[in-house]
Amino acid sequence: MRNILVPVPGSAAPSSTIVVFPHAGGSPRQYAPWGRIAGSQARVLGVTYPGRDHRLGDAHPATMRDLAEEIAAALDAASPLILAGHSLGAILAYETLLAWQRAGGGEGTTLVVSGQTSPDHVGGGTLHLRADGALVEALSRSSPDTARALAESELAALYLPAIREDYRLIETYSPPPPGSATTQSSIVVVKGYADEELITASVAGWQRLSPDVLGPVLVPGDHMHHIDRPELAQMCCGGVLRHAARTLQRKR
Protein backbone atom coordinates (compact mmCIF):
# COMPACT_ATOMS: atom_id res chain seq x y z
CA MET A 1 0.00 0.00 0.00
CA ARG A 2 1.63 3.21 -1.20
CA ASN A 3 0.81 6.59 0.35
CA ILE A 4 -2.93 6.09 0.60
CA LEU A 5 -3.15 9.54 2.24
CA VAL A 6 -1.69 12.48 0.30
CA PRO A 7 -1.55 16.16 1.33
CA VAL A 8 -3.78 18.58 -0.56
CA PRO A 9 -1.58 21.56 -1.54
CA GLY A 10 -2.22 24.88 0.17
CA SER A 11 -3.24 23.56 3.57
CA ALA A 12 -1.13 23.46 6.71
CA ALA A 13 -1.69 23.33 10.51
CA PRO A 14 -0.89 19.65 11.19
CA SER A 15 -2.53 19.87 14.62
CA SER A 16 -5.93 19.97 12.88
CA THR A 17 -6.41 17.47 10.07
CA ILE A 18 -9.30 16.89 7.68
CA VAL A 19 -9.24 13.70 5.61
CA VAL A 20 -11.32 13.83 2.41
CA PHE A 21 -12.76 10.74 0.73
CA PRO A 22 -13.55 11.39 -2.96
CA HIS A 23 -16.61 10.31 -4.93
CA ALA A 24 -16.53 7.34 -7.34
CA GLY A 25 -13.92 8.07 -9.99
CA GLY A 26 -12.57 10.93 -7.91
CA SER A 27 -9.08 11.87 -6.79
CA PRO A 28 -7.51 14.11 -4.12
CA ARG A 29 -6.32 16.31 -7.00
CA GLN A 30 -9.90 17.57 -7.36
CA TYR A 31 -9.81 18.91 -3.80
CA ALA A 32 -7.26 21.66 -4.51
CA PRO A 33 -9.86 24.34 -3.59
CA TRP A 34 -10.19 22.72 -0.17
CA GLY A 35 -6.50 23.26 0.45
CA ARG A 36 -6.79 26.94 -0.41
CA ILE A 37 -9.87 27.35 1.80
CA ALA A 38 -8.24 25.52 4.71
CA GLY A 39 -5.06 27.58 4.49
CA SER A 40 -3.50 27.69 7.94
CA GLN A 41 -6.66 26.47 9.71
CA ALA A 42 -6.16 22.79 8.93
CA ARG A 43 -4.13 20.26 7.04
CA VAL A 44 -6.19 18.51 4.35
CA LEU A 45 -5.25 14.95 3.39
CA GLY A 46 -6.89 13.14 0.49
CA VAL A 47 -7.50 9.41 0.22
CA THR A 48 -6.18 7.98 -3.05
CA TYR A 49 -8.12 4.93 -4.16
CA PRO A 50 -6.35 2.16 -6.13
CA GLY A 51 -6.15 2.49 -9.90
CA ARG A 52 -5.36 6.22 -10.19
CA ASP A 53 -2.60 8.77 -9.66
CA HIS A 54 0.41 7.18 -7.92
CA ARG A 55 -1.65 4.04 -7.13
CA LEU A 56 -2.34 3.29 -10.78
CA GLY A 57 -1.03 -0.28 -10.60
CA ASP A 58 -2.28 -1.14 -7.11
CA ALA A 59 -4.70 -4.02 -6.64
CA HIS A 60 -8.34 -3.20 -5.96
CA PRO A 61 -9.85 -4.34 -2.65
CA ALA A 62 -12.48 -7.05 -2.59
CA THR A 63 -14.95 -4.99 -0.55
CA MET A 64 -15.56 -1.49 0.76
CA ARG A 65 -14.76 -2.77 4.25
CA ASP A 66 -11.37 -4.06 3.11
CA LEU A 67 -10.47 -0.64 1.72
CA ALA A 68 -11.69 1.00 4.93
CA GLU A 69 -9.38 -1.23 6.97
CA GLU A 70 -6.42 -0.12 4.83
CA ILE A 71 -7.25 3.53 5.32
CA ALA A 72 -7.88 3.15 9.06
CA ALA A 73 -4.41 1.65 9.44
CA ALA A 74 -2.94 4.81 7.88
CA LEU A 75 -4.89 7.21 10.10
CA ASP A 76 -2.99 6.73 13.34
CA ALA A 77 -0.20 9.09 12.35
CA ALA A 78 -2.63 11.63 10.88
CA SER A 79 -4.92 11.81 13.95
CA PRO A 80 -7.64 13.63 11.99
CA LEU A 81 -10.39 15.63 13.61
CA ILE A 82 -12.70 15.26 10.61
CA LEU A 83 -13.35 12.49 8.09
CA ALA A 84 -15.29 14.05 5.19
CA GLY A 85 -16.66 11.89 2.39
CA HIS A 86 -18.92 12.54 -0.58
CA SER A 87 -21.18 9.98 -2.29
CA LEU A 88 -19.16 6.72 -2.36
CA GLY A 89 -16.63 8.53 -0.17
CA ALA A 90 -19.28 9.14 2.51
CA ILE A 91 -19.83 5.41 3.00
CA LEU A 92 -16.10 4.75 2.88
CA ALA A 93 -15.46 7.46 5.49
CA TYR A 94 -18.14 5.92 7.71
CA GLU A 95 -16.69 2.41 7.37
CA THR A 96 -13.18 3.80 7.96
CA LEU A 97 -14.33 5.44 11.19
CA LEU A 98 -15.86 2.15 12.38
CA ALA A 99 -12.68 0.24 11.48
CA TRP A 100 -10.50 2.83 13.20
CA GLN A 101 -12.63 2.69 16.33
CA ARG A 102 -12.51 -1.12 16.38
CA ALA A 103 -8.72 -0.77 16.40
CA GLY A 104 -8.87 1.60 19.37
CA GLY A 105 -8.54 4.93 17.57
CA GLY A 106 -10.77 7.70 16.32
CA GLU A 107 -12.10 8.96 19.63
CA GLY A 108 -13.52 12.45 19.19
CA THR A 109 -13.38 12.32 15.38
CA THR A 110 -16.26 14.00 13.53
CA LEU A 111 -17.73 12.35 10.43
CA VAL A 112 -19.07 14.50 7.58
CA VAL A 113 -21.19 12.62 5.04
CA SER A 114 -22.26 14.44 1.90
CA GLY A 115 -24.39 13.43 -1.06
CA GLN A 116 -25.21 9.97 0.23
CA THR A 117 -28.12 8.06 1.72
CA SER A 118 -27.71 6.31 5.04
CA PRO A 119 -25.82 2.99 4.81
CA ASP A 120 -28.98 0.90 5.06
CA HIS A 121 -30.13 2.36 1.72
CA VAL A 122 -26.82 1.78 -0.09
CA GLY A 123 -26.00 -1.20 -2.30
CA GLY A 124 -27.54 -2.86 -5.30
CA GLY A 125 -27.19 -1.92 -8.93
CA THR A 126 -25.34 -3.47 -11.85
CA LEU A 127 -23.67 -0.49 -13.48
CA HIS A 128 -20.24 -1.94 -12.72
CA LEU A 129 -21.17 -4.95 -14.89
CA ARG A 130 -22.37 -2.97 -17.88
CA ALA A 131 -20.54 -1.84 -21.01
CA ASP A 132 -18.13 1.09 -21.00
CA GLY A 133 -20.63 3.30 -22.81
CA ALA A 134 -23.24 2.85 -20.09
CA LEU A 135 -20.67 3.70 -17.45
CA VAL A 136 -19.62 6.90 -19.24
CA GLU A 137 -23.27 7.86 -19.74
CA ALA A 138 -23.92 7.50 -16.00
CA LEU A 139 -20.86 9.62 -15.26
CA SER A 140 -22.05 12.32 -17.64
CA ARG A 141 -25.04 12.90 -15.38
CA SER A 142 -23.07 13.30 -12.16
CA SER A 143 -19.63 14.40 -13.40
CA PRO A 144 -19.73 15.83 -16.94
CA ASP A 145 -16.07 16.89 -16.87
CA THR A 146 -14.96 13.33 -16.10
CA ALA A 147 -17.21 11.95 -18.82
CA ARG A 148 -15.79 14.39 -21.40
CA ALA A 149 -12.24 13.40 -20.47
CA LEU A 150 -13.13 9.73 -20.89
CA ALA A 151 -14.28 10.40 -24.45
CA GLU A 152 -10.59 10.12 -25.32
CA SER A 153 -9.92 6.43 -25.86
CA GLU A 154 -6.49 6.44 -24.20
CA LEU A 155 -7.84 8.01 -21.01
CA ALA A 156 -10.82 5.68 -21.03
CA ALA A 157 -8.55 2.64 -21.22
CA LEU A 158 -6.51 4.01 -18.33
CA TYR A 159 -9.21 5.17 -15.92
CA LEU A 160 -12.46 3.34 -16.72
CA PRO A 161 -11.31 0.12 -15.01
CA ALA A 162 -10.74 2.04 -11.76
CA ILE A 163 -14.08 3.83 -12.02
CA ARG A 164 -15.78 0.49 -12.65
CA GLU A 165 -14.15 -0.85 -9.49
CA ASP A 166 -15.41 2.16 -7.52
CA TYR A 167 -18.95 1.42 -8.67
CA ARG A 168 -18.49 -2.24 -7.82
CA LEU A 169 -17.55 -1.31 -4.25
CA ILE A 170 -20.67 0.80 -3.72
CA GLU A 171 -23.07 -1.47 -5.62
CA THR A 172 -21.97 -4.60 -3.76
CA TYR A 173 -21.81 -2.87 -0.37
CA SER A 174 -23.79 -4.24 2.54
CA PRO A 175 -24.13 -2.23 5.77
CA PRO A 176 -22.80 -3.59 9.05
CA PRO A 177 -25.25 -5.39 11.37
CA PRO A 178 -27.13 -3.09 13.76
CA GLY A 179 -24.98 -4.04 16.74
CA SER A 180 -21.80 -2.76 15.09
CA ALA A 181 -23.18 0.06 12.94
CA THR A 182 -23.25 2.89 15.48
CA THR A 183 -20.62 5.35 16.65
CA GLN A 184 -20.32 7.86 19.46
CA SER A 185 -18.70 10.30 17.04
CA SER A 186 -20.59 13.36 15.78
CA ILE A 187 -22.04 13.00 12.29
CA VAL A 188 -22.79 15.97 10.02
CA VAL A 189 -25.09 15.14 7.09
CA VAL A 190 -24.93 17.42 4.03
CA LYS A 191 -27.02 17.59 0.85
CA GLY A 192 -26.91 19.91 -2.15
CA TYR A 193 -30.14 21.84 -2.72
CA ALA A 194 -30.28 20.73 -6.35
CA ASP A 195 -28.95 17.20 -5.88
CA GLU A 196 -31.48 15.19 -7.90
CA GLU A 197 -29.70 11.92 -7.07
CA LEU A 198 -30.60 12.23 -3.41
CA ILE A 199 -33.97 12.85 -1.77
CA THR A 200 -33.87 14.42 1.68
CA ALA A 201 -35.89 11.59 3.27
CA SER A 202 -33.27 9.01 2.24
CA VAL A 203 -30.63 10.52 4.54
CA ALA A 204 -32.78 10.20 7.66
CA GLY A 205 -31.19 6.86 8.57
CA TRP A 206 -27.95 8.59 9.57
CA GLN A 207 -29.83 9.80 12.66
CA ARG A 208 -29.88 6.25 14.03
CA LEU A 209 -26.11 5.79 13.86
CA SER A 210 -24.97 8.33 16.46
CA PRO A 211 -26.43 10.22 19.43
CA ASP A 212 -25.02 13.42 17.91
CA VAL A 213 -26.20 13.96 14.33
CA LEU A 214 -26.58 17.36 12.65
CA GLY A 215 -28.56 17.74 9.46
CA PRO A 216 -29.32 17.30 6.77
CA VAL A 217 -27.59 20.62 6.20
CA LEU A 218 -28.61 21.97 2.78
CA VAL A 219 -25.98 23.78 0.74
CA PRO A 220 -26.09 25.37 -2.73
CA GLY A 221 -25.33 23.14 -5.69
CA ASP A 222 -26.12 19.77 -7.24
CA HIS A 223 -24.59 16.35 -6.63
CA MET A 224 -21.08 17.66 -7.34
CA HIS A 225 -21.36 20.65 -4.99
CA HIS A 226 -18.34 19.44 -3.00
CA ILE A 227 -16.12 20.13 -6.02
CA ASP A 228 -18.03 22.87 -7.86
CA ARG A 229 -18.81 25.09 -4.89
CA PRO A 230 -16.94 26.16 -1.71
CA GLU A 231 -19.66 25.76 0.94
CA LEU A 232 -18.83 22.22 2.11
CA ALA A 233 -15.11 23.01 2.39
CA GLN A 234 -15.89 26.24 4.22
CA MET A 235 -18.16 24.36 6.61
CA CYS A 236 -15.54 21.68 7.33
CA CYS A 237 -12.75 24.23 7.79
CA GLY A 238 -14.93 26.49 9.92
CA GLY A 239 -17.80 25.48 12.20
CA VAL A 240 -17.33 21.72 11.91
CA LEU A 241 -13.62 22.00 12.70
CA ARG A 242 -14.33 24.13 15.78
CA HIS A 243 -17.02 21.68 16.93
CA ALA A 244 -14.65 18.75 16.41
CA ALA A 245 -11.90 20.47 18.39
CA ARG A 246 -14.27 21.16 21.30
CA THR A 247 -15.54 17.58 21.23
CA LEU A 248 -12.03 16.16 21.29
CA GLN A 249 -11.03 18.45 24.15
CA ARG A 250 -14.01 17.28 26.24
CA LYS A 251 -13.07 13.64 25.70
CA ARG A 252 -9.47 14.12 26.82
Catalytic residue among 87, 114, 118, 186: 87
Distance CA 20, CA 223 (A): 16
Specify burial of residue 128 (Cβ count, 10 A radius: 0-12, 13-18, 19+).
middle
87 as an active site residue: the answer is yes
3-state per-residue secondary structure call for the chain: CCCCEEECCCCCCCCCEEEEECCCCCCHHHHHHHHHHHCCCCEEEEECCCCCHHHCCCCCCCCHHHHHHHHHHHHHHHCCCEEEEECHHHHHHHHHHHHHHHCCCCCCCEEEEECCCCHHHCCCCCHHHCCHHHHHHHHHHHCHHHHHHCCCHHHHHHHHHHHHHHHHHHHCCCCCCHHHCCCCCCEEEEEECCCCCCCHHHHHHHHHHCCCEEEEEEECCCCCHHHHCCHHHHHHHCHHHHHHHHHHHHHC
Distance CA 189, CA 113 (A): 5
Distance CA 174, CA 225 (A): 26
- Catalytically active residues are 87
